[in-house]
Copies of this chain bind each other. A is one copy, B any other.
Amino acid sequence: MTQATGAEVLWTALAEQGVDTCFANPGTTELDLVRGLESKGDIRCVIGLQENVCTGAADGYGRMTGRPAATLLHLGPGFANGIANLHNARRARTPIVNIIGDHTSWHLPFDAPLSSDIEALAGAVSGWVHRIGGTGAVAGAAREAVRQSLADGGQGATLIFPADFQADAVADAGERAQAPAAAPAAEAAFDPARIAQRLRSVRRVVFLLGGGGEDSGLGARAQRAVARICEVLGASAYAETFPSRAERGQGLPAFDRLPYFPEPARAVLDEADLVVLAGALPPITYFGYVGHPSELVDPARLLVVGEPGRPVAQRLEQIAEQLGAPEAQDYVRELPPAPEGELTPARIGAVLARELPEHAIVSVEGGTCGYPFYAVSAAARPHTTLTNTGGAIGQGLPVAVGAAIACPGRRVVGLLSDGSTQYTIQALWTMAHEQLDVVVLIAANHQYAILRNELRRNGAALGARAAEMTALDRPKIDWVGLAQSYGVPASRAATAGELRDQLRRAFAARGPALIEMAL
């Protein structure tokens, strides 16, 4: 018989205390809790498409039964989406046990993208907040959470449950006590000659470019300068994984993004003698992964030529001059051939790269089409991409709205997935109301594919319960009808040819349009 995981111990203890329902919107840091439910048929899980659905449903449940339901929410941002209805529940004195997954405990010091002050957010709507300090403390914490939820006439009791304590015992606890190294200081007085000398003194150099405005590491000037430097040094360069804003397309170098998962990211970074940060933060893993350090590059191998959010283009040009780099090329590439047949993520990427108007702005959210588009978009007409910087889901549509308001002369494309788009679906109305020139592309695979990918990492099988909890296919949302109900003209594309024709029509017209891409 195998030992129970912390997650299984939690569910067992909650069920013993009478908790039989969980309103859930889990994310990556709650996946061991999802796994733990496989063996807990006595706890019913109800998926909500936004956290406020979960917390409000738990409120209604608690009012009618006098017993706490559990909520299962994703880190601080997921919890924040549910704060409004927890506020209502607090006023109703409804007992609720909130379970918030947190980063693996040893990952916390590194301020990963999804980190936030969960205690502050939870404290605003909870009578009791407790952080689980280890697997041995899980059962007692669960019992106390139920007791606290019923105290004082009923209240929110919130458990913060780091991901490592959800999983089975980690092999070597000693390895976890990893302290964050001090961030390397930027060159106080920028000295291109000294930097050029340092760059020449090592064999393998990798540049990491951070996004932002025109003078950022992912503006056109900086990218051209870095390409010159790479040519003279035989170095390579990557964009940070989720830039706030990046220039891309014909005429620019085709830098890849630093891979998201630690294995391919380390394949890039481990061999570097020097990693040069041009507006990018020192690279860390997105979540804490056992067997990988949170800090992907030790500080001794880092060189900062520009802090994030500050201009760096001119500095890079000065370095290029110092190195005697050749003049910037005008990078010309062949567009991918016109794809045919049923839609796949790769074909979607190719069609969009071919059809994208010059100076378009592409708001990217969702794993399904983001990378396949990026793989070919260097050959597209010059454009700007905006990605999800903080990992809080539901950014794609609203960012497209804001970009269209900011740049009325530019075409905006939302390259989105169906799961993430639901979190802020109401943005479609604003697009119709303001008649914004936004073309929304929805990759409709009717599942939380990113979570399934995470669940399947390292060859793991997808449990039936996990599959059920990551399925969005009963019923399948009719995206065409949904968009039309908000006043956005919509159509459905099943083949590359249909997508091409519908994209052309959408780009030729004014106002918003939505295309459901059947996958």
Contact = CB atoms under 8 A, between A and B. Distances in A.
A293 interface: no
For the complex formed by this chain, how many copies does it contain in all? 2
Nearest to A67: B406
Contact of A61 (B83, B88, B123, B405): B405
A76 interface: yes
Interface in A454-481: 472, 474-481
A87 interface: yes
Given A406-B61, A481-B485, A308 B52 contact: no
Indicate the member of A47, A60, A399, A472 with the most B CB atoms within 10 Å: A60
A105 interface: no
A400 B61 CA distance: 9
B475 A61 contact: no
A402 B60 contact: yes
Interface stretch (A140-148, A334-342, A390-398): A390-398
A125 interface: yes
Interface string A112-126: 011011001101110
A468 to B, nearest CB: 10
Interface stretch (A297-305, A371-379, A426-434, A494-502): A426-434
Interface residues of A, number: 109
Interface in A393-451: 393-395, 397-403, 405-407, 422-427, 429-430, 432-434
A209 to B, nearest CB: 15
Nearest to A430: B48
Interface stretch (A91-99, A175-183, A196-204, A321-329): A91-99
Interface in A352-407: 361, 363, 384, 386, 388-395, 397-403, 405-407
B426 A48 contact: yes
A85 interface: yes
A352 B116 CA distance: 46
A169 interface: no
A50 interface: yes
Given A52-B423, A57-B430, A94-B244, 19 more contacts: A47-B433, A48-B401, A53-B398, A53-B401, A56-B397, A60-B386, A60-B401, A61-B406, A64-B361, A64-B406, A77-B83, A77-B84, A81-B84, A85-B398, A91-B242, A120-B121, A432-B475, A433-B474, A481-B481
11 contacts: A23-B402, A50-B426, A52-B423, A53-B398, A56-B401, A60-B401, A63-B386, A83-B121, A84-B393, A85-B392, A475-B486
